[in-house]
Structure 1
Amino acid sequence: MKKFLLGTVALVALGVAAPAVAADLPARTYTKAPAYVAAVYDWSGFYIGANAGGGWFKDNWNSLGGFDLGSHTGDGAVAGGQIGYRWQTGTWVFGLEAQGDWADLKGDHDDTFFSTRSDNSKLKAFGLFTGQIGYAWNNALLYAKGGAAVTSTNYNVSFPIAGVTASTNDVTKWGATVGAGLEYGFAPNWSIAVEYDHIFIDRKDVDFAFTATGIYSGTLRTGGDTDLVTARLNYRWGGPLIPRF
């Protein structure tokens, strides 16, 4: 009985002391959860890539005397690469790029002045040197480009009945280009794009020589614009994801 009374007294004393001890403890502190961080894609940095696709062109032919010799369209495949640099400020993206492609765009027509002659052309390569301006929605980029273009084309005329052919060396022509593209970054340093380009090339005098002998056979004026559609894959250095709070 004595032990029971002592235990009861101890429990009562503990119950009275507990609120006093709790009152002396410091107030509980609450830690604010860290703010959510959204990753923003950054398009800045050097990049290098490959492209492939197709194109078409129109080639207009005239004699030096001004006679219209007709025209033809041609088409075919292109493939090559590009290298450039972009820098981003806010949602705007600016860049410089050099692109070089091999091409196999060719076409022909029956000459309107010499009915037995076939006029042929083949665009073999081109280069684009452009500036870019674009608008980015995180990892999606819509851009426009413009600058200078250079093409390399081979021309020949043939008289199938006579078995005579005259051709040119590869003719280099300079012109202008404009284009636009839509690019998507599917990884921090990788992106894919689809791009359209238009190349403006004026007519130019080109010298022909007989294929069999190499003797000069005459001069004609040729030229025309080219359109290109390519798919592109780029790898970029730099430009890590930017944290946005």
Structure 2
Amino acid sequence: MKKILAALVAFAALTAAAPALGADLGARPYYKQPPVYAPAIVYNWTGFYIGGHLGGAFTGSHDFNGAVLSDSSARLLGGVQAGLDWQFATNWVLGTEGQYSWLGKNNLTATFPGGYVYTNDQRGLGSVTARIGYTWGPGLLYVKGGYAYSDNSERLTLAGAPIPFLLDGSHTHGYTVGAGVEYMFAPNWAVKGEYMYYDFGSTRFISPAALVPFGSFHNDDHTLKLGVNYRFNFASPVVARY
């Protein structure tokens, strides 16, 4: 009986000491899940692109020393472009671009005394330019300039019959300058707005002799374009590491 009582007393003592022993072991460790960070997109302008554009072209003022010229100066245009950019610093982009725009019907016509009629149908404008731009992430503001080409179809008639003629210089080749803004709105895709001025110099008749005294006329164009580019260089999202 004494042995049973002793065992019961010992068991009770152990039961009373158990909570204190558990407290000495410390709290269960708590593991917190690390935070999830959204991917950080890095915009990269370096690479090749192709695209298309629509807009309008406006011919500058022309005259042959008082001879009246009639022309449909406002025309629709549409074309294609391709280029290569290099982002050589955090906010700076250097590039080159080739572009061609088909023009709506435009007959620049000059009627001279004696029945001579000169007509120039300008069918297209092309350019090869260099450009430099300032970028802030998805946006790019740029200026450009370089070689320009005008696709002209010219004729001279007398009393309705075509006759040969000679000009003192080609107004097919010239220069262009412009500026624009481009914006990446989705992976691989960008939209742009652009103004370009084309100058093809002045031209005068060398023959026939009857047109030589009328002097020269200037050849220039202003264009406004809206376009879209597919870019092969858009950077994949980069997840920041901590």
Do the aligned residues in 1 keep the contact of 2:37 with 2:239 (CA within 8 Å)? no
Which of residues 1, 15, 19 in structure 2 aligns to 1:15? Answer: 19
Change (3 A) 1:208 1:241: farther
Do the aligned residues in 1 keep the contact of 2:52 with 2:227 (CA within 8 Å)? yes
Which of residues 37, 40, 46 in structure 2 aligns to 1:38? Answer: 40
2:195 alignment partner in structure 1: 196
CA distance in 2, matches of 1:41, 1:199: 32
Structure with greater strand percent? 1
Change (3 A) 1:223 1:156: farther
Change (3 A) 1:106 1:124: same
2:148 alignment partner in structure 1: 149
Q: Pairwise CA RMSD of aligned residues?
A: 3.7
* Structure 1 length-normalised TM: 0.75
Which of residues 37, 57, 63 in structure 2 aligns to 1:55? Answer: 57
CA distance in 2, matches of 1:182, 1:60: 30
Change (3 A) 1:202 1:158: same
Asked if residue 178 in structure 1 is aligned to residue 182 in structure 2, the reply is no
Change (3 A) 1:139 1:163: same
Report the secondary structure of 2:83's partner residue.
Answer: strand
Q: Percent identity?
A: 26
User: How many residue pairs were aligned?
Assistant: 228
1:164 alignment partner in structure 2: 161
CA distance in 2, matches of 1:15, 1:168: 115
* Structure 2 length-normalised TM: 0.76
CA distance in 2, matches of 1:183, 1:155: 36
CA distance in 2, matches of 1:185, 1:129: 23
Q: Mean alpha-carbon deviation: is it higher for 6-15 or for 94-103?
A: 6-15
CA distance in 1, matches of 2:239, 2:25: 46
C-alpha distance after superposition, 1:108-146 (max 9, x if no partner): 4553x4175554322112211111111112111111111
Change (3 A) 1:188 1:206: farther
CA distance in 2, matches of 1:158, 1:141: 49
What runs of 5+ residues in structure 1 fail to find an aligned partner? 210-216
Q: Give 1:204 shift.
A: 2.9
2:230 alignment partner in structure 1: 235
CA distance in 1, matches of 2:181, 2:171: 30
CA distance in 1, matches of 2:120, 2:41: 51
What runs of 5+ residues in structure 2 fail to find an aligned partner? none
- The residue type equivalent to 1:129 in the other structure is V
Do the aligned residues in 1 keep the contact of 2:196 with 2:224 (CA within 8 Å)? yes
Q: Mean alpha-carbon deviation: is it higher for 231-240 or for 217-226?
A: 217-226
Change (3 A) 1:115 1:108: farther
Report the secondary structure of 1:240's partner residue.
Answer: coil
C-alpha distance after superposition, 1:2-55 (max 9, x if no partner): 8997875454222011111118x8x76777646665323211111111112110
- The residue type equivalent to 1:240 in the other structure is A
- The residue type equivalent to 1:70 in the other structure is V
- The residue type equivalent to 1:233 in the other structure is V
1:124 alignment partner in structure 2: 123
1:106 alignment partner in structure 2: 106
- The structure whose Rg is larger is 2
- The residue type equivalent to 1:54 in the other structure is G
CA distance in 1, matches of 2:190, 2:163: 46
- The residue type equivalent to 2:45 in the other structure is W
Report the secondary structure of 2:60's partner residue.
Answer: strand
- The residue type equivalent to 2:47 in the other structure is G
Do the aligned residues in 1 keep the contact of 2:107 with 2:122 (CA within 8 Å)? no
